[in-house]
Structures are given as C-alpha cells and as structure tokens.
Amino acid sequence: MKRVTVAVFGLACVMASAWALRAQQAPGDGPRYTNETNLVRPTDYREWTFLGSGLGMTYEPAAGSQSAPQFFTNVFVNPSSYRSFMQTGAWPDRTVFVLEARASGSEASINKAGRFQTNLVALEAEVKDSRFPDGWAFFDFGTARSMKDVAEPLSGNRVAGCVECHTKHTAVERTFVQFYPTLLEVARQKGTLKPGF
C-alpha cells in the first residue's frame, strides 16, 4: 500500500510540474489582434528568424539620380512558421512577416566604403491568416516618428497593389522566397515553388 501511495504521489508531482511548466511558457508567436483583425505590433520581432536584407530595392524603375537615399529592408518571420516552412516548404496559417526599413550610412568610424544600417524608418507586416477573406493581410505601422502600436489591415487601393504584386511576382504563395536563398532551396526540394521559379 505504501508503494502505491508513493507512486500516486510521484505521478501527481510530475503532472503538477508539467502543468506549471506549460503555464510558464510564452504564448504562441503568431499574430495578436485587437478587434479581431487589427494587428498588434510585435515588439520582439528582431528576436525572430531573420530571412534576409536588401539595399535600395524598389518596385519602380531605377531612378536616374544616384543621390536618392537608399534604404535597407530587413525581413523577419515568427520562429514557429520558419520551422514549419523548413519541414514543408509552405507557410502555415498564422505566419507573420515583419518588414523593417532602415536608413543607410556610409561614413562613420573606420568605414571608408560600403553602406551600413542606421535608424529605423518604417515598419510593415504581412500575415497569412484564414480569418481574412483571401487568407492574407497587409499592415502598415507607419514611420519611426509616428509608429503605431496597432494597425488595421490595408484596404482599397492600398492593398490592391500589394495583392497584385504578391500574387504575380512571388516564388512561394505570396512571399518573396526568391530573395532568401536558404528558403528558396527548401522550396525547390519540397516542390512548392510557383511555375517559373
């Protein structure tokens, strides 16, 4: 009888410990909303998986003047979605991409050539979430001077351009995987690239 009591007590301790550990773990890293669809800006996105960076990337034809400021764009994705993509080559529901634009500098400290990132300029997000009519939504948190904590989904003409571009020119679903070499190779291996890539 003593052994049974010890075993039951031990099992209860293990279950209580497991429950306490689960309660302490951070909530999921997917999107958080107010009013069901307004995205809360993820403040820890720079701790997420870094997908890549571009310098001076634009959707418009190259300008004739080289004096225009060039911005770095950095793309981050929530870690659980990155892990899922690495296994499947596709993005799961509740994937969040954050695009941050940063100014670029060229003359500081010992640097004599090349460019490096400086101040935050603007922040945007793209979310894959079945709660939206076509499964995707785009958000603009604004510029560094007027950064919003919560952003409504883009609508009307503002979102139409995003949807058109992210439908016609992306390598996997509505994402520019072609700019992230590691992910591009995964998509090739998993057979999830769109035709033409």
pLDDT at site 112? 76
The mean per-residue pLDDT over the stretch 157-166 comes to: 92
Band the pLDDT of 169: cuts 50, 70, 90.
Answer: very high
In the numeric block, the tokens 């883009």 are attached to: 154
pLDDT in tens, 32-65: 999 999 999 999 999 999 999 999 887 777 655 4
Q: Share the mean pLDDT of the chain.
A: 86
φ/ψ bin of 81: left (φ > 0), alpha (ψ from -120 to 50), beta (otherwise): alpha
Strands across the sheet with 136-143, in order?
49-55, 71-77, 95-105, 116-128, 136-143
CATH architecture of the domain 30-61+68-190 equals: 3-Layer(bba) Sandwich (3.50)
pTM, 2 dp: 0.82
Determine the pLDDT at residue 63: 59
Q: Which of 29-33, 34-38, 79-83, 106-110 has the lowest mean pLDDT?
A: 106-110
Q: Which helix (H) or strand (E) holds 157?
A: helix 156-168
